[in-house]
């Protein structure tokens, strides 16, 4: 729809600018707050311009100087934990999803449809819904306070299977047949042909799943009591409640900015693939 009416253009811009303000303001506040001293907040008014304390704040948070975070580990360590969690979840989910989609689309085995629907049903059961039984299982397997406990229950749903299945179904059968004539067995076909063709899809999914894993809050909160396994997202909430009456906004916002960085980097780096994976299908 391309219309050329001046007032419509004005309205369009107004809406866009409003949108940018709504989304941009909190980020602006976070950035500004992370550069001020805690004294700037005492008056109860958020400063709207950058202070001088930026580098200092980041150093203190990253090294947990003087226990500013109120826990025994530094922000860099917690970011490492978050990174491991996000990576393992993203890679794990993609791996089992692509393999199960491969099985479902290219092999004829008994109860194939049943398998597909069972996987599909996991879409309706995210962690939040099955949190108690999942906790039970993880606890009795002795996986509390471990990376395995942090990641495996979140991997164990092949949400992306559906996406890969649709993609594989859109690949003409004759491609698999040509590969068969060319002497490629099933795994060779997967490795030489399906996998390279799926690169864009994998990249798009990786971005989504990395952010999903990075932003996990409830699950890590529930199963970690050992500070060594805390994630960066968890500690932000703890900071809010920790300081008695005197909330350390500069420290909270510094941590928040740090927590935002890796997802932003992942999106920026993978942007090209990401967009291609969502909109374009290789012919």
Partner 1 sequence: MATVSLRNIKKTYSNGFKAIHNLNLEIEDGEMIVLVGPSGCGKSTSLRMVAGLEATSEGDLYIGDKRVNDLEPSERDIAMVFQNYALYPHMSVARNMGYGLKNQGLPRDEIRRKVEKAARVLEIEHLLDNKPKQLSGGQRQRVAMGRAIVRNPKVFLFDEPLSNLDAKLRVQMRIEIKRLQQEFATTAIYVTHDQVEAMTLADRLVVMNGGKVEQVGPPLDLYEKPETQFVAGFLGSPGMNFMPARIQGQALLVQGDHRIDLPDMAELAQWDGRDITFGVRPEHLEACSEAEADFHLKVDIIEPLGADTLLYGHLPGSDSLMIAEQPGKRRYTRGDVVPLRVDRERLHLFDAETEQRLNE
- By CB under 8 A, name the binding residues for partner 1: 172, 174-175, 177-184, 188, 192-193, 196-197, 282-283
Q: For the CB of residue 191, give the shortest distance to partner 1 in the complex, in Å.
A: 12
C-alpha 273/C-alpha 199 separation (Å) is: 8
DSSP string, 47-97: --S--S-HHHHHHHHHHTGGGTTSSSS-HHHHHHHHHHHHHHHHHHHHHHH
Burial of 182 (0-12, 13-18, 19+ CB in 10 A): exposed
Residue 188 vs 237, nearer CB to partner 1: 188
Give whichever of 1 and 181 is closer to partner 1, judged by the CB atom. 181
User: Cα torsion for 238, 243, 245, 247, to the nearest 10°?
Assistant: -80
To the nearest whole angstrom, how small is the minimum distance from the Cβ of residue 216 to partner 1? 34
CA distance 272 to 176: 28
CB of residue 172 to partner 1, shortest distance in Å: 6
Q: Which is nearer to partner 1, 103 or 197 (CB)?
A: 197
Smaller CB separation from partner 1, 51 or 186 = 186
* Least distance in angstroms from the C-beta of 32 to partner 1: 47
């Amino acid at each position: 729809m391309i219309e050329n009416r001046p007032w419509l253009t004005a309205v369009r811009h107004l809406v866009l600018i409003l949108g940018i303000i709504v989304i941009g303001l909190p980020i602006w506040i976070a950035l500004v707050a992370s550069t001020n001293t805690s004294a700037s907040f005492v008056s109860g008014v958020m400063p709207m311009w950058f202070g001088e304390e930026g580098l200092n704040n980041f150093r203190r948070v990253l090294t947990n100087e003087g226990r500013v975070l109120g826990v025994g580990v530094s922000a860099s360590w917690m970011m490492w934990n978050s990174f491991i969690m996000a990576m393992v979840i993203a890679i794990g989910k993609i791996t089992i999803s692509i393999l199960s989609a491969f099985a479902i689309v290219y092999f004829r085995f008994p109860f194939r449809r049943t398998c597909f629907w069972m996987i599909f049903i996991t879409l309706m059961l995210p962690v939040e819904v099955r949190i108690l039984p999942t906790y039970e299982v993880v606890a009795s397997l002795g996986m509390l306070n471990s990376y395995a406990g942090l990641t495996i229950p979140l991997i164990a749903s092949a949400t992306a299977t559906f996406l890969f299945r649709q993609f594989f179904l859109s690949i003409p059968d004759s491609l698999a047949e040509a590969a068969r004539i060319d002497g490629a067995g099933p795994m060779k076909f997967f490795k030489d042909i399906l996998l390279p063709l799926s690169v864009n899809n994998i990249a798009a999914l990786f971005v989504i799943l990395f952010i999903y894993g990075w932003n996990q809050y409830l699950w890590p909160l529930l199963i970690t009591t050992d500070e060594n396994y805390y994630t960066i997202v968890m500690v932000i909430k703890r900071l809010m409640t920790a300081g008695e009456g005197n909330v350390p906004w500069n420290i909270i916002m510094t941590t928040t900015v740090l927590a935002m960085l890796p997802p932003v980097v992942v999106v920026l780096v993978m942007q090209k693939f990401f967009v291609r994976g969502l909109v374009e299908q290789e012919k």
